[in-house]
Amino acid sequence: MKLAGPGPVFTVMSRQWCHLCHDLVMALEPIAAEFGWKIEVFDVDQDAGLEARWNEWVPVLLHGERELCHYHLDEAAVRAYCAGFPLESRP
């Protein structure tokens, strides 16, 4: 599985049964819409490599290889990160 590269895509490492994962994605959706970013969600239990790397850290929010937060959405940090992104990435 290849992580999304730089560009307007959030990647969430998740688990199907994880309520914190669902909460993070729901809280992220309005921010992604505001900044024109997409969200990709990967179930770590479906890939042995992802499970080995992210097992107890999920949910994890990434942009490319950069970890933005884990367990709970850090809205202030994510907004600051998006605001610092080049204006060309906005719709």
Domains of the chain by start residue, with CATH = 9-86 (3.40.30.10)
- Looking at the predicted structure, is the pLDDT value of residue 67 above 50? yes
Structure token digits, residue 43: 């179930």
Give the span between the Cα atoms of 49 and 71, in whole angstroms.
Answer: 19
Entry pTM:
0.85
**9 phi, psi to nearest 5 deg:** -135, 125
pLDDT score of 84:
86
pLDDT score of 90:
45
Give the span between the Cα atoms of 21 and 4, in whole angstroms.
Answer: 18
